[in-house]
């Protein structure tokens, strides 16, 4: 909207760079261009403001597919007024000289024309497309058909309209149909998820089985190695026992030989000792015999009284020492009797 300043009898208009201003004074074109600023008299002025910037037109409409299913089409058309003079001649873009507001609704008229044209082409392409194909590839097909249809529409260039871009945002079926269509896909996704879960479980089970087999193989190999180790230990033990037995036999033989030598030496020594003892005994016997013979010769040559005296001396030497003698009356009487009898025998 243009900015208009009011003064008594005069008005000042200040436009924007995106608004094309056409000023007619008394039916004659005075100013024509974007971003203008000028004074004018409201009683003789005719003003038009045509926007030349790119504008977005969002549209939503319903269409039937080939299988008689209702779909909602959401699209956006970007356009601009490339020929402002032609647009001002075909549509009412005049503005109030006091307020700068459009007197009509040119943009609504232009939007209606674009929407109806786009809807016509969209209905035509969707009417020959089943719902499944429309939901799968319909967005691209509808976009291409809208772009081609709007470009070939003769009313748009005749109105000074240039279509910049066409975008189809979505093709949506009715909520009940959409839920029905989502169910197989959801079930398929769930089946895929279940299959992936089962595959993961199968892979996990296979890995666990592989791990268990590896552990079992490791245990079998360990047991086999332990068996070989036990056999080797038994072989080593038998070898050590045999070597120990051989060593013990050698030691026993050596000990037996040593004992035999010792026994022989002891026997020889005993023989020598026995011979020496026998020789000594013989010599001692001969010496004792010779001494007894000499003693007998001495006693044979000595007087009997001397022998009696020696015998008494020997007896006295062998009798122990007597410190005191107690003679009872009976013993004394007997001794006296024996002495008296002896005296009588001696006197007789």
Segments of the chain scoring below 70 in pLDDT: 295, 298-308, 310, 312, 314-328, 331, 335, 339-348
Confidence (pLDDT) at 111: 92
Amino acid 77: pLDDT: 94
Alpha-carbon dihedral of residues 192, 195, 199, 204, nearest 10 degrees?
Answer: 110
H/E stretch holding 181 reads helix 175-301
pTM over 0.75: no
Name the token pair of 277. 């003892």
Q: Would you call 55 helix, strand, or coil by DSSP? A: strand
Q: Using one digit for the tens of pLDDT, what is the confidence trace for 14-25?
A: 988 889 999 999
Could you tell me where the DSSP H helices lie in 24-173?
84-90, 106-126, 131-152, 155-158
């Amino acid at each position: 909207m243009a900015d208009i300043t009011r003064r008594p009898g005069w008005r000042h208009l200040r436009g924007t760079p995106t608004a094309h201003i056409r000023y007619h004074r008394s039916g004659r074109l005075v100013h024509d261009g974007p971003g203008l600023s000028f004074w004018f008299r409201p009683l003789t002025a005719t003003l038009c403001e045509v926007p030349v910037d790119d504008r977005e037109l969002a549209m939503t409409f319903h269409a039937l597919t080939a299988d008689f299913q209702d779909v909602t089409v959401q699209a956006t058309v970007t356009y601009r007024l490339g020929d402002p003079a032609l647009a001002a001649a075909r549509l009412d873009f005049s503005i109030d000289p006091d307020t700068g507001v459009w007197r009509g609704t040119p943009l609504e008229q232009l939007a209606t024309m674009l929407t109806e044209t786009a809807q016509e082409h969209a209905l035509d392409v969707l009417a020959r497309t089943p719902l499944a194909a429309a939901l799968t590839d319909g967005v691209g097909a509808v976009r291409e058909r809208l772009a081609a249809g709007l470009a070939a529409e003769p009313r748009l260039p005749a109105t000074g309209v240039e279509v910049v871009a066409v975008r189809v945002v979505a093709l949506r079926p009715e909520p009940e149909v959409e839920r029905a269509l989502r169910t197989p896909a959801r079930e398929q996704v769930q089946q895929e998820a279940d299959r992936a879960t089962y595959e993961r479980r199968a892979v996990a089970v296979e890995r666990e089985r592989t791990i268990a087999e590896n552990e079992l193989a490791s245990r079998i190999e360990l047991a086999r190695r332990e068996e070989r180790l036990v056999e080797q230990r038994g072989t080593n033990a038998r070898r050590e026992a045999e070597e120990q037995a051989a060593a013990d036999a050698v030691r026993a033989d050596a000990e037996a030989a040593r004992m035999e030598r010792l026994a022989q030496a002891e026997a020889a020594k005993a023989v020598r000792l026995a011979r020496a003892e026998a020789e000594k005994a013989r010599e001692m016997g001969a010496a004792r015999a010779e001494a007894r013979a000499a003693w007998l010769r001495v006693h044979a040559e000595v007087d009997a009284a001397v022998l009696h005296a020696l015998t008494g001396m020997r007896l006295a030497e062998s009798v122990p020492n007597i410190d005191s003698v107690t003679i009872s009356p009976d013993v004394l009487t007997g001794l006296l009797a024996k002495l008296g009898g002896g005296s009588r025998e001696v006197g007789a």
